[in-house]
Amino acid sequence: MDARRNPRRTLGATGESLAADLYRKLGFTIVDRNWRCNSGELDLVVASGDLLVFCEVKTRSSDFFGSPAEAVGYAKQARLRRLAAAWMGEHHAGQRNVRFDVVAVLIGKSEPQVTHLPDAF
C-alpha cells in the first residue's frame, strides 16, 4: 500500500522528509533513504566527511503516548546496529566514523516540531 492511501505511511514519509531537510541544512549529504533488507529498514543514512550517520526517524501526530523518540528502545537500537552493519557491508563502506541519531517529529495542529538527537545511542 502506498503512502497516498495509508495515513500512517504519509505521516512517516512527511517526518522523514523533514529529517532529510534538517540534515541538508546541517551540511550532510543524503546517502540512502528507506534502505531495506530482510531484517528491516533504515530510515536515513547521511554523511559528512568521514562521518556516516544512521538515523531513525520517529513521527507522531501527538505526544499523548510520549515523545516519538521514546519509541526507540533497547531492542530497536540493537536492530538498527545490525541493519547498519548490513548496510555497510553491502555498500563496502570500509572504515568510517559511525553515529546513530534519532529525529523525533511531532506533527500536530501547528508547525511540525523536529527534535534532533545526535549520537542518541
Question: What are the extents of the domains in the chain?
Answer: 7-117
pLDDT at 14 exceeding the cut of 90: yes
Burial class (CB in 10 A: 0-12, 13-18, 19+), 93: middle
Residues 6+ apart with CB under 8 A from 81: 100
Pick the CATH number of 7-117 from 3.90.870.10, 3.40.50.300, 3.20.20.70, 3.40.1350.10: 3.40.1350.10
**For residue 86, what is the DSSP state?**
H
Residues of the chain with pLDDT > 70, as a percent, come to 96
User: What is the pTM (predicted TM-score) of this model?
Assistant: 0.90
Burial code (b: 16+ CB inside 10 Å, e: under 16) for 5-29 equals eeeeeebbbbbbebbbebbeeeebe
Give me the residues paired with residue 103 across strands: 57, 116
> 41-95 pLDDT, tens per residue?
999 999 999 999 999 999 999 888 888 999 999 999 999 999 999 999 999 998 8
Mean pLDDT of the chain: 93
What pLDDT does 1 receive? 45
**Percent with pLDDT over 90 in the chain:** 80
pLDDT for 48: 97
Residue with cell 531495506: 36
Per-residue model confidence (pLDDT) at position 65:
85
In order of 43, 51, 58, 77, 102, the CA distances from 105 in angstroms are: 13, 23, 6, 18, 10
Report long-range pairs for 63-66 (Cβ below 8 Å, ≥24 apart). Answer: 63/106
Q: Please work out, in degrees rounded to the nearest 5, the angle formed at the alpha carbon of residue 80 by the alpha carbons of 98 and 25.
A: 55
Residue 64 CB coordination number (10 Å): 6
